[in-house]
Chain A
Amino acid sequence: MDVIAFYVFGAIAIAASLGVIGQRNPMHSVMLLIASFGALAGLYVILDAPFTAVTQIIIYAGAIMVLFLFVVMLLNVPREEPAPRSLAGTLGGGGIKAAALLSVAMGIELVYAVYSLEHVSFSPGHSGSVSSVANIGQALFTKHAFAFEVTSVLILVAMIGAVILAQKEHH
């Protein structure tokens, strides 16, 4: 059951992510990205991390993507025009050759990494495990307290910067 769910969510995540970069309407890209975040949340649930899954939806898919959506809507980004269809056009240029080489290298590394993993068994989740909310809270405020506080200061700085940049000029 877990394995079926993993393949389903993984397929949705991959298809949605390919759609984000592959299709031409920017609004559709944003919606497909939200769909891929939903699939990731499903994968987190399978990994016995319900808190991470829900937090992913609330923060990433619920707040950050709304921001993206507003930006794409209000900037009125036009549809992408289809690329030139000639073979000479697509295979020419040194930059494209280097990019193709790098992607082949990355593909080989990915396949190697996946095959060298040990087999992981899907054990049923038990409550009180390391991902329960209480344990996450304790770890955040004791072991990782510094990172937590610094992140909140960082977000505050970003907010203040955004407010100042968005102000109208005072003459």
Chain B
Amino acid sequence: MLQYINPNIVAHLGLIFVVFNLLVLSAAFMVWLERKVCAYIQDRVGPNRVGYEGALQPFADVIKLLFKEELRPKAADALLFAIAPIISACAAFAAFSVIPFGTETTLFGLLKEPLPLQVADVNVAVLVIFAITSMGIYGIVIAGWSSNSKYSLLGGLRSSAQMISYELSYGLALAAVIMLAGSLSLRDIVMAQSGAWWGFIPKWYVFLQPLGFLIYMTAGVAETNRAPFDFPEAEQELVAGYHTEYSSMSFAMFFLAEYVNMVTVSAVATSLYLGGWLGPLLPSWLGWLWFLLKVFLLLFFYVWMRWTLPRYRYDQLMEFGWKYLLPAAVVNLLATAALVLWLG
């Protein structure tokens, strides 16, 4: 009976399991990182009771949230109220499925065919990420509307309008990288960044596209509703925005979705601009360590930015997205196209 089970399918299922668990654990890690970094920036210590240096704090938070009562306003639309956090969380996880985080591995010779370290190897991977990120907007809009409360509706509408506006610059920055690499597959884009100039400067696209990288990171921060673009969730302005009426695990789902979105944006930025799993010194089958390091650096930058910069007012936010970032992204695209044509 055992000889009918294809070991590659088992390995693939194992990979999916590992990736899913790592994403959830990375969300927990982000909760801890955020609170510790926030604390040190504010000249205090942060959580240090639960586990070494508070490392088990996120697990304590989850257990507390599990035991809370699940509330639903009487006038809320029951079906949509229940579905909204599910849409947010599913979109966040699904977007990570096409991101490659290492070269092929044979698990030390256990597998006959090598298994690429990627849940799904699609040749339109960049567009898939873009599509699934667009789907995540629905979770927020539906949450805002179905809660049947002023704060939620305003927060939901503002948040989704912001996400739609910054998606344009996001896509244009992506398009410039696609032009450089000549392919939509993330694996091809990472492999196009292998090698080095003069032996030590790696051929990462961040050096060829500095403006594109800045545009991408700005649009990514705005897409994930993080500071300084987190007006829709700002505590001082809207109680809590679109997730005001949610409690317990639904609230946890929204937060899980937000952190996993951050991880996805950082992972895509790593693959597109920072060379993915390529790096000096380590053998290529340990490339995923470099990938984790780069993603961690970008996530640290996210947290650092949140606790350093004041937030944009909503009209400033929208004005910036349409009047400054979008023209910059278009100019970046045109300049890249001209250089690609001219230099071949």
Does A12 belong to the interface (CB within 8 Å)? no
Residues in A with CB closer than 8 Å to B79 are: 28
Does B151 belong to the interface (CB within 8 Å)? no
Option from B124, B134, B137, B142 in Cβ contact (under 8 Å) with A133: B124
CB distance from A76 to the nearest CB of B (A): 10
Asked if B124 contacts A50 (CB within 8 A), the reply is yes
Give 7 A-B contacts (CB < 8 Å), ordered by A residue. Answer: A25-B77, A28-B79, A28-B80, A31-B142, A58-B130, A58-B131, A66-B160
Residues in B with CB closer than 8 Å to A61 are: 134-135
Does B205 belong to the interface (CB within 8 Å)? no
Residues in B with CB closer than 8 Å to A62 are: 131, 134-135, 137
Nearest chain B residue, comparing its CB with the CB of A51: B124
Q: Give the contact-size bracket for chain A.
A: 20 to 34
Complex CA distance for A11 and B49, rounded to whole angstroms = 53
Residues in B with CB closer than 8 Å to A28 are: 79-80
Nearest chain B residue, comparing its CB with the CB of A50: B124
Does B128 belong to the interface (CB within 8 Å)? yes
CB distance from A137 to the nearest CB of B (A): 11
Option from A27, A34, A66 in Cβ contact (under 8 Å) with B80: A27
CB distance from B115 to the nearest CB of A (A): 20
Interface residues of B in 108-128 (CB under 8 A from A): 122-124, 127-128
Interface residues of A in 1-55 (CB under 8 A from B): 25, 27-28, 31, 34, 50-51, 54-55
Does A110 belong to the interface (CB within 8 Å)? no
Interface residues of A in 63-108 (CB under 8 A from B): 63, 66, 69-70, 73
Q: What's the tally of chain B residues with a CB closer than 8 Å to chain A? A: 24
Taking beta carbons and an 8 Å cutoff, which residues of A are in contact with B?
A: 25, 27-28, 31, 34, 50-51, 54-55, 57-58, 61-63, 66, 69-70, 73, 127, 132-133
Residues in B with CB closer than 8 Å to A132 are: 123
Nearest chain A residue, comparing its CB with the CB of B163: A66
Complex CA distance for A34 and B160, rounded to whole angstroms = 16
CB distance from A57 to the nearest CB of B (A): 4
Asked if B141 contacts A69 (CB within 8 A), the reply is yes
- 8 new A-B pairs (CB below 8 Å) besides A31-B83, A54-B130, A61-B134? A34-B138, A50-B123, A50-B124, A54-B124, A57-B134, A57-B135, A63-B164, A66-B164
Q: A27-B145, A58-B131, A73-B145 are in contact. Are A66 and B137 (CB under 8 A)?
A: yes
Complex CA distance for A54 and B127, rounded to whole angstroms = 6
Complex CA distance for A70 and B144, rounded to whole angstroms = 12
Contact with A along B251-262 (1 / 0, CB 8 A): 000000000000
Asked if A66 contacts B124 (CB within 8 A), the reply is no
Asked if B145 contacts A51 (CB within 8 A), the reply is no
Contact with A along B51-79 (1 / 0, CB 8 A): 00000000000000000000000000101
Residues in A with CB closer than 8 Å to B137 are: 62, 66
Does B184 belong to the interface (CB within 8 Å)? yes
Residues in A with CB closer than 8 Å to B127 are: 51, 54-55, 58
CB distance from B174 to the nearest CB of A (A): 12
CB distance from B188 to the nearest CB of A (A): 12
Asked if B77 contacts A27 (CB within 8 A), the reply is yes
Option from A50, A57, A58 in Cβ contact (under 8 Å) with B122: A50
Nearest chain B residue, comparing its CB with the CB of A72: B145
Residues in B with CB closer than 8 Å to A25 are: 77
Asked if A54 contacts B128 (CB within 8 A), the reply is yes
Residues in A with CB closer than 8 Å to B141 are: 66, 69-70, 73
CB distance from B65 to the nearest CB of A (A): 27
CB distance from B184 to the nearest CB of A (A): 6
Nearest chain A residue, comparing its CB with the CB of B134: A62
CB distance from A15 to the nearest CB of B (A): 16
CB distance from B93 to the nearest CB of A (A): 16
Nearest chain A residue, comparing its CB with the CB of B79: A28
Nearest chain A residue, comparing its CB with the CB of B136: A62
Option from B77, B134, B142 in Cβ contact (under 8 Å) with A63: B134
Residues in A with CB closer than 8 Å to B124 are: 50-51, 54, 133
CB distance from A89 to the nearest CB of B (A): 30
